[in-house]
Amino acid sequence: MKKYDCLFIGNAIVDVVANVSFEFLKDQNIDVGSWRPTTLDEISQLQNKMENILVASGGSAANSAVGFSLLGGESSFIGRVKADEFGELYVKDLQDANVDFVSSAVSDGDETGRCLVYVTPDAQRSMRTYLGAASNLSPDEINDSSVEESEFIYMEGYLWDEPIAKEACKKAYDLSRKVGTKSVLSLSDSFCVDKWRSEIRELTKTTDIIFGNEEEIMSLYNTNILSDAISAATSEINLCIVTRGDKGSLIISSEGVEETPAFSCEKVLDTTGAGDLYAAGFLYGLSNNLRLYECAQLGSFCASQVIGLLGPRPSPNLAKLAKDEGLLV
């Protein structure tokens, strides 16, 4: 029996979240819904202008790891943080969520990464990210036992944007094939897919499960027509899950294409973490032998539970809420 249901690997980023007006973003020359990397000096200056902030450990794969653990799964996480104030917060947040942090905080080098998340009244996110220590995740931090002890290994596409982190991903994939651990990839962002399309497309052909939204899947196949991307994914990918916001999701498998509805949210406050929590729910269902449609339902429910809150993490009562909804026993 495996020690962990799923090992998550990703950028270890602390989210600094605040509600802001459209005017505030205009004053800061930030386009609504935009994202770009920044330097440490710039992000420090921007953060000083934010008020009533919520600080919480984030990062795509880590959000999924926490959601998976809150549902009742055994999860672990590999990511790089420095032994500084933000790094200590990051590790503590994971431990509080019963996620095993199987990396070690480093004592020197870049500061722990952080992401400023500006949430406008339409619940859209605009982000500025300083990767910091996260960008230096190396193959040395991917150890054989962590991969071998896991049923699934989940990696975020954001890692492909940093040369050394990309090598860490490649090592993790090689190990997973060697020891029979199922591989999972989140496409993360259409920007990353655009930049590394040929490499990521080859990777998806040998990956067991792919998660992506409509824009990311269309970018993967360099098309503006969703049906064309679906046809290509059907022929190339073992199992592909396409999230579509309030339109639900698509399950693309050898059995064909199946549509699943979204769960409604009374009031959407912040879409941060929606895709991450969908993946957490789907994988938890899969690890507990639920049917694909049931996995998608659980994923959609988990996504609905985070978009009604500010920040990337759902309620600690996520498992109970899912049981009350009849999605878990």
Q: Give the CATH number of the domain where residue 72 resides.
A: 3.40.1190.20
The answer to whether residue 31 is domain-embedded is no
Q: Give how far Cα 266 sits from Cα of 54, 272, 306, Å.
A: 22, 16, 12
E strand intervals along the chain: 4-9, 13-19, 35-37, 54-58, 75-78, 99-101, 113-119, 125-130, 150-156, 182-186, 209-213, 240-243, 249-253, 256-260
Phi, then psi, of 243 in degrees rounded to 5: -90, 145
Average pLDDT, the chain: 93
Average pLDDT over residues 91-102: 94
Average pLDDT over residues 193-221: 96
**Confidence class for position 324, pLDDT limits 50, 70, 90:** very high
The answer to whether residue 52 is domain-embedded is no
pLDDT in tens, 231-270: 999 999 999 999 999 999 999 998 899 999 999 888 887 7
Query: What ranges in 48-120 are assigned the alpha helix state H?
Result: 60-71, 85-96
Comparing CA positions, the residue from 83, 93, 192, 169 lying closest to residue 133 is 83
Q: Which two tokens stand for residue 241?
A: 């899950």
**Confidence class for position 189, pLDDT limits 50, 70, 90:** confident
Query: What ranges in 9-155 are assigned the alpha helix state H?
Result: 22-27, 40-47, 60-71, 85-96, 144-148
pLDDT in tens, 39-87: 999 999 999 999 999 888 889 999 999 999 999 999 999 999 999 999 9
**Total count of domains within the chain:** 1
The answer to whether residue 113 is domain-embedded is no
Angle at alpha carbon of residue 216, lines to 132 and 61, rounded to 5°: 40
The answer to whether residue 115 is domain-embedded is no
pLDDT in tens, 267-321: 887 777 899 999 999 999 999 999 999 999 999 999 999 988 877 778 889 999 9
The answer to whether residue 145 is domain-embedded is yes
Phi, then psi, of 38 in degrees rounded to 5: -135, 170
The residue range of the domain holding 70 is 4-10+60-107+133-324
The answer to whether residue 161 is domain-embedded is yes
Q: Is the pTM of this model over 0.85?
A: yes
The answer to whether residue 253 is domain-embedded is yes
The answer to whether residue 114 is domain-embedded is no
